[in-house]
Amino acid sequence: MQGCIKDAPQNPEADIESVTVDPHLLTGNVFIDQINRTITLNLTNEAYDSGISPVLTLSRGASVKPASGTLIKFDGDQEIVYDVTSESGENTKQYTVKVVNIGHWDFAFQNWASHPTDKYEYPVEDDGLQLWSSGNPGVALSGVPARSDAYPTRSTTDGYLGTKAAELVTIKGTPLSELIGIRLYAGSLFLGNFNASQAMLNPLAATEFGEPYKGLPKSFTGYYKYSAGPDFINKAGQVQPGVKDKCSIYAVLFNGPDRLNATNIMNSDRIIARADLQDGSDKSSFTRFDIPFVYKQNAVISKNLMMAIVTSSSAEGDQYRGAIGSRLVVDSLRIVPLL
């Protein structure tokens, strides 16, 4: 009798599974978006100026260029891309590095980009950097048409100064989403990331709020207008007579570097200060708000601070309660620092 032992098949996966950077060079955690193949780095000024040497963990047997541990520098418009090749050689992926180093806190929502496949919109800074996210990536998984106006969050030319702004609309769920009890999607816009890998398993944890913040804030200002939809429904889809939808706009300063999410943004013990819009009722024309930050007594302030700004067309949209057709437009949001 004769036998043979075959070699194990080579791994076809080509993922960057983790990115490790000296924590002294970071102002917030590293975020890997496996759906859009981006790596977001929250760097100190010194790290941005001198460059960093990330250590990459790859799929078994995969290779990457530039190699793990290579010094990468940020030269203005030059894009940094990691090219990963699977062990088998049959698959390749590109990961684009994005650097977050916020020097201003004024957001006019004049520039928007579109997802190449799903076609939802998201605001970007003048240099193309994405700081804001929404629930749109999760809605994309539910089978909406691939066009911007099918999503709850998009751009509008109905801005405060007659230019672009962010429009958030509560929309009806899809047949697929209703199978798991989601009968509506509120429009949302927030500083941070949407972790699409959690969208179906734990939707509240998918919203990762916050960007690194330096100093202490005094107030949160901006402009909004709002119209509530006609019928407020609960999670079961039942109309609640006498209940009127309202919008939600707030900012939260908290200790990082880990982000908060929709499970703890209201009650985490890491929160230092909040600025909440109290009046979420209808406003037919743009209304200015100027909300002071209220600091918690005896709050411990760490070196790694994070700021979250969260807006929604239905204040209870995170619980899938609200009114289909509710519309919120926000523009010219600003965090005013303490002098």
Q: What is the pLDDT of residues 219-273, one digit of tens each?
A: 999 999 999 999 999 999 999 999 999 999 999 999 988 899 999 999 999 999 9
Cα 90 from Cα 262, distance rounded (Å) = 39
Give pLDDT, residue 100: 73
- Is the pLDDT confidence value at 326 over 70? yes
The predicted-structure confidence for 46-86, as pLDDT tens digits, reads as follows: 888 889 999 999 999 999 999 999 999 887 656 899 999 99
Distance separating alpha carbons of residues 57 and 65, to the nearest angstrom: 13
Write the CA distances from 155 to 4, 75, 110, 120, 186, integer angstroms.
62, 30, 9, 10, 15
Whether the predicted pLDDT of 102 surpasses 70? no
Match 């030269």 to its residue by tokens: 75
18, 224, 276 from 48: Cα distances, Å:
20, 35, 33
For residues 290 and 276, what is the distance between their CA atoms, to the nearest angstrom? 10
Write down the pLDDT at residue 161.
86
Residue 215: per-residue pLDDT: 84
Which is more confident, 24 or 75?
24
Higher pLDDT, 129 or 121: 121
For residue 7, the model assigns a pLDDT of: 66
The residue-averaged pLDDT of 137-162 equals 94
43 has a pLDDT exceeding 90: no
Distance CA 108, CA 147 (A): 23
Percent residues over pLDDT 70 in the chain: 95
Average model confidence (pLDDT) across the chain: 91
Query: What local confidence, expressed as pLDDT, does residue 127 receive?
Result: 75
pTM for the full model? 0.78
pLDDT of residue 4: 60
Residue 181 or residue 230, greater confidence? 230
Measured between alpha carbons, how far is 252 from 112 in angstroms, rounded to an integer? 24
